Structure formats: structure tokens, C-alpha cells
Chain A
């Protein structure tokens, strides 16, 4: 075969257009164009948020689809074609420097997002995200609206939860510290309230707890646990001050299970997120012990009721006595 100009040009275009037919035209003609059960149209503000998302390159780090082999944020729903129905610009993304956000709507209240946009490390100390404060309040609100819509109807349900508990949490905060802690304690199932931390606060465990606290908690609760982290000005209700928690021990003794449950589950409606996905059991117990020993000044670790000692546990005599403090009257 000899290459002639005619063969080169006509042949080259024919082969190329057959590829266009297979890879572009055929899918357009055959792909079903139906919305999925979670689909709803975007509001104007969400759409404007999408435009900001696209033009500022958020998608270079955050993908918007969940795969079958994903575990983290949003893994309750594998992406379906109908989830993207008629979206103005749907960029699935190629990179996850940050988490996938396709189901992030309602995971956090709005004020968490605003704090996060202003300085991502205030809410997530390890984050590599740049600050977006320069966009200004109005644009950050639009971006927040866009993220809170990720998951559409499923996100709306999660947002309903945030909106239901948010006012309750704020009201409890406004009633003063003691009432607030009582409200917070009341949100924990009774079985967890009277549960001591089953693991001793050995030196290694406290060092682990220290690192976990720095990597996850200190932006809001502050380096000394006084609830005065840099994110505080953005958060309502503000984060809990651990240092005066000692007068709110359950039955004058217990605090470990409370801490564990609130860290695992978060406090919906407030900026306290759940850490169930980021931290496994041992890490939550370790950071609970860290908070208890260093900020509260008392740990219930290894107290009764307790089961048999775990195989790895060295002997650890519990010498802490519960602090005796007068409850202040509001």
C-alpha cells in the first residue's frame, strides 16, 4: 500500500469519524436520560455555587463520584447515572487530594464549611486545601450551598437533621455551661453514659491520643482543650471547653463512654463531626483518655464495670479519685 494525499486525508477522517460515532454519538443515542430517585433540580444559589466550583478548580482535588470499592465519606451510595441528570456542569474529577464530596451535603452544618473555607486547617488540621477567604462571604455561602446539595434529596434529608438539632444545640448553649453539658450528655444513650474507658491511659496510649487530638481536634477545641481553637469565631454553638467538664461526671465517676460516643457519632446540628470513619476504636479510646487525663484532670479508665483484661494490657493501678466539686448554680 502506498500512502497518497487522498488516502491520508480521506482515510484519516473516516477512521476518526467512525470513532466519534462509537464513542460519542452512540452513547448519546442510547444512554438513558432519566433522573435517579435522589435527584432534584438545583436552586439558583446551588447553581451559582457550581459555577464557582468549576471556575476555581475545586474538582482538581475533589472528585464527585463514589465507586464500589470506596469506604469513606459518602460510601453509602455508589454513584448512579441519574444522579447527574441535567446538571449544568457535572465534573466527575480525576483526583482525590481531598475527599470525594458527591454525598457531602448535610454531613456538616453551614458554619463548619464557612470556617473550613476560611482556613481549612481550622476544622481539619491536616488539610492541604488552600484558604478561600479571598472569595468573600457571599461566594463562600454559594459554595457552601452547592456542597450542602451534594447528594440532592439524600443530602436534603441529612440537612433536615442538621436543621433539627442545630437550634436545640444553640438553645442549650445559651442556657449556660451546665445546662449545655446536661443537654449534651442527654444525647448519649444511657448505656454509653455509665461506661468507663476500658483501656488504661498508659504513656504510649496518651502519646497516641495527643497526636490524634492534634490531627483532628485542636482547630476547634484548642491546644489546651479550652474550646478556644482558631475556628471558634465561625462556629455557633462554639466548641466544648473540656477543662470545666470534671463537675459533670456521670454518677460522679464516668466520662470515658461519653467522650467515645460523642467522638464516634458527632453532635449533629453542631460543628462537631463524627469521626467514626477517620478513627478506629483504639484511636477513639486513646484520644478520650488524652482529653480526660490532660484537660479534664480525671480518667475513669479501667474502672468498674469492667470485663476481663485485654491480652495486651500491662497492669495499671487506677489511682484517680473522682474530683469533688460543687456544681455552680445558674
Chain B
């Protein structure tokens, strides 16, 4: 045990395994919720499986559990690697992992029995908020010290994103969760929604996006074996991300009675989000220019490449749907659910999976047990998610147009039935993809062919700079 928590990359491994486990749990709860929308009496009067309780378990398990946890695991490998050092303290990394996963476990345990703070993405009980914040803070310290003891003078862009993630999350998480009011975790009155959506949009903005970008900037140049296209674009992409993304939470409240200037800032900055997104995507695309074949031939590289396409889709969609005219139709319905799925599972999830399979051999010193299973997972999740986007977008447009033209919510319910059925069927593909990935990960740990990467002190990183 002591030997394990001192072993290089062991904390990364814990995060990676946990992430794959959360993927299975999170999608199973998503499946449960999807069944509710087809067959509301499927789990009749089983309190732990009532929709209002399974949905937050699903959302938190995939957002914090699957995507974030996996991306942290990958980062704990690649940050020391590009800094040509080791994680400053592997035991502290394990402390972060324990605090993080204990906080996340409070979701399935407490929401199941009807204990929840309710606000979306802020449902964890107060003590779990404390544990999660402590985990992030410990990680930030660990990373600052890792940077301090680095042997590579230059800070590669992945390090900026990974470091930034923990600095920002350690601050926006307590603010958004209103942790100074432990009994409710909410401000009284309407002002609470400003806290909630400032936080709510920083979750994808300053947690998922930088983690995913950092991983993509690591994996893509490695797989294509090309140097990063532009340092300047990297700088523009990074600084505009934190400047703009932190100002757009108000677009969740465009139709609610909040100050007009706040709505204006949110819409303008939502549109301006195209700057960091296009910058990052262009930088990655141009890095792999002429070597796209290598990216697509590599199972992990393919996942990351498709993750970047989801990034493009989700952000262009996000910017457009922040326009008030569009939002009259798209707000409150399944359109938004489609959007959030391609954000968390598409953009962050695909990059998390790609990063997982890319770094796993270096972390475990074993080859991935089956690249064909990685490809199978890719196919299952890609088909599932593409179908999700189509089906939920159609359902959302039907609902939104109906409501906007005088139909009641009740009257529109039968119009989405067939789409909810399709969505549940597609969900089976995604759950299967999660299970295939978990099995592959476990078999890699136990049966993967042994493999000795070059020592971490001298990784093949010249080409990255």
C-alpha cells in the first residue's frame, strides 16, 4: 500500500480507473432516467429510482465522475511528463483522489434517499463540497510544487490549462455552491440564480474545457508526431477562454427577471466564445495538418480528433442558442439536453476517453489489452451520441415551437414519445460503450502485455515544443 501510493503515476491510475467506473455508473443512471421518460411507472414507488433522484446522480456522475475524473487522471500523467519531472507528491495526489471520489460518492448515496441541495450541479451536501474543494486545493498545491521542481524550463500549453483548472475550480466551486450557507447551499431569493449560473457555466468553461483542451494539446501532437503549430494561438486561446467563458452564465437566465446589462454581457461574450474555440481548434488542426491519417489510424487519437469536432459543434451551437430570438424556442426543452450531452460526453468525454487510452500504457506499463475494444467503444459511443443529438434536437424543436405557438406543455407530451423511445434505445449503446471500456481497462491492468516506456525523466518531448 505505502509502496503503491509512492509509485510514480499511481495517483493518475487511481483517477483513470475511477473515471472509467463512474462512466459505467453514470450512464446506468442516465439509462434509468431515460426509461422514466418512456415508461414513468417502470420503477413505481422505488424511492431510490425516482426520476428526481436519478437525474442528479446521472449528471454529477458523468460530469464530475466520468469526464473530469478521467481527464484529471490523464493530466496527472502528462503534466509531470511535459515538465520532465515527477508529480511533486504522489501521496498528496492520492489524498486528492480519495477526497474527490468520496465527495462524488455522496451523490448516489445521498440523492437516492432524498438528501440533496437541489440546485443543478450543486446538489452535493455541504461536507462533500468541503471535501471536493479540499481535493482541488490539494491538487493545486501539488501542481504548483511540481511546476516549481520542473526540469523543463518552458511551460507547455497543457500545463497552463491543467494548472488553471484547479486554480479556478478551487474558487468558483465554493462561490457557486454558496458554501458559507451550509444549511441550504443557496442564497435566498432570485440572486441565487446568478450564483448558480455563474458557477453552472464555469463548470464546462473553467473545469471541463481547460482539462479537455490540455489533454487534446498533449495527445494530438504526440500521435501525429508534429510540433505544436503556434505558440501565439495558444496564448490567445488560453487567455480569451478564461476572460470570456467566465462571463456567460447569464445566458441561462435570458428570459428570467435578471438585470438587462447582465444578459447583454452574457450574450455578447457567448458569441465571442467563438474566438477561443476557433483559435484552439485551428491550432490543433494545423498541428495535425498533413498528418491527419496518423490521428485517425490511432484509436486514442481518433477519439480525441472526434472530441474536437464535438467541441466545434457544441460551442457553435452554444453561441447561437444564446441569442434571445433562438432561445425563445430552444430553452426549457430537449434541445438543451442534446446540447449538454455533446458537451460533456462529446467534447470532454471523447477527449477523456482518447487521453485515457493514450496515457494508459505509460501509467500502467502495460499495453492496452485490446485496441479493437477501444474501437468498439468509439463506435458505440459515437453512434449513440450522434443519434442522441439528432433525436433530442428534433424533440426539443417540436416542444419549443409548440409552446411558442400556444400549445400547453401537457399537450406537447405525446409529440415527444417516439423520440424518448429512440433516446432510450441509443442510451443502451452508450452504456454498452462505457462497460466495454471499463472491462478493457481492467483487463489491461491485469493481462495487458508488459511494456517499458522510456524513463519519464527523458521522455520524447523535443517534438512537442
| Interface residues of A, Cβ cutoff 8 Å to B | 1-5, 8-9, 11-13, 15-17, 19-20, 22-24, 27-28, 30-31, 33, 52-61, 63, 65, 67-73, 78-81, 83-100, 120-121, 124, 126-134, 215, 277-278
Contact = CB atoms under 8 A, between A and B. Distances in A.
B50 interface: yes
Contacts of A80: 257
B189 A87 contact: yes
B168 A12 contact: yes
B190 interface: yes
A23 B196 CA distance: 11
A277 B413 contact: no
Nearest to B206: A16
17 contacts: A5-B144, A5-B148, A27-B194, A65-B256, A69-B255, A71-B407, A72-B408, A78-B257, A81-B190, A81-B257, A88-B188, A89-B184, A96-B403, A120-B40, A129-B51, A131-B45, A277-B408
A24 B189 contact: no
A22 B55 CA distance: 32
A98 B36 CA distance: 13
Interface of B: 36-37, 40-41, 43-47, 50-53, 55-56, 111, 114-120, 144, 147-148, 154-155, 157, 159-160, 163-164, 167-168, 171-172, 175, 184, 186, 188-196, 198, 206, 235, 239, 242-243, 246-247, 249-250, 252-253, 255-259, 262, 265, 328, 331-333, 336-337, 399, 403-404, 406-411, 413-414
A127 B40 contact: yes
Contacts of A56: 50, 52-53, 114, 116
A28 B332 contact: no
A2 B159 CA distance: 13
A99 B332 CA distance: 10
Given A20-B175, A94-B332, A130-B36, A27 B411 contact: no
Contact of B40 (A33, A60, A96, A128): A128
Given A92-B253, A126-B410, A277-B408, 20 more contacts: A3-B235, A16-B167, A16-B172, A20-B246, A22-B247, A23-B194, A27-B262, A28-B191, A60-B56, A60-B120, A69-B404, A71-B408, A73-B409, A84-B189, A89-B188, A95-B333, A95-B336, A96-B333, A131-B41, A134-B50
Contacts of B407: 71-72
Contacts of B114: 52, 55-56
B155 A8 contact: yes
A60 B51 contact: yes
A71 B404 CA distance: 7
Contacts of A53: 118
What are the 3 A-B residue pairs with the smallest beta carbon separation, nearest first?
Answer: A57-B52, A54-B118, A19-B246
B114 to A, nearest CB: 5
Given A5-B147, A89-B192, A91-B118, A96 B51 contact: no
A87 B155 contact: no
B118 A98 contact: no
A183 B55 CA distance: 47
A44 to B, nearest CB: 15
Nearest to A71: B406
A60 B52 contact: yes
A80 B257 CA distance: 5
B31 to A, nearest CB: 16
Interface of A: prevailing SS: loop
B253 A23 contact: no
A74 B190 CA distance: 19
Contact of B116 (A1, A19, A55): A55
A128 B163 CA distance: 44
A81 B258 contact: yes
A231 to B, nearest CB: 15
A88 B191 contact: no
B155 A4 contact: yes
A234 to B, nearest CB: 16
B125 to A, nearest CB: 10
A94 B336 contact: yes
Given A59-B118, A60-B56, A278-B411, A90 B37 contact: no
Contact of A95 (B159, B255, B332): B332
A57 B116 contact: yes
Contacts of B242: 12, 15-16, 19
A79 B409 contact: no
A120 B52 CA distance: 14
Contacts of B55: 57, 60
B259 A31 contact: yes
Contacts of A4: 155
Contact of A85 (B189, B198, B336): B189
Contacts of A15: 239, 242-243, 246
A21 to B, nearest CB: 10
Contact of B160 (A3, A67, A81): A3
A23 B333 contact: no
Contacts of A131: 41, 44-45
Contacts of B52: 56-58, 60-61, 130
Contacts of B37: 97, 128
A46 to B, nearest CB: 14
Max count, chain A CB within 10 A of own CB: residue among B51, B144, B160, B407: B51
B246 A27 contact: no
Identify the interface centre among B44, B193, B255, B331: most chain A CB within 10 Å of its CB: B255
A81 B189 CA distance: 8
Given A12-B167, A60-B56, A99 B410 contact: yes
A30 B111 CA distance: 35
A83 B43 CA distance: 36
Nearest to B120: A94
Nearest to B156: A3
Residue of B172, B250, B409, B413 contacting most chain A CB atoms (<10 Å): B409
Contacts of B191: 27-28, 31, 33
Nearest to B200: A94
Given A5-B148, A56-B52, A57-B116, A92 B188 contact: no
B144 A9 contact: yes
A71 B168 contact: no
Given A57-B116, A120-B40, A67 B167 contact: no
Nearest to B150: A5
Given A54-B118, A95-B333, A67 B171 contact: no
A225 B43 CA distance: 30
Nearest to A79: B257
Contacts of A58: 52
B160 A23 contact: no
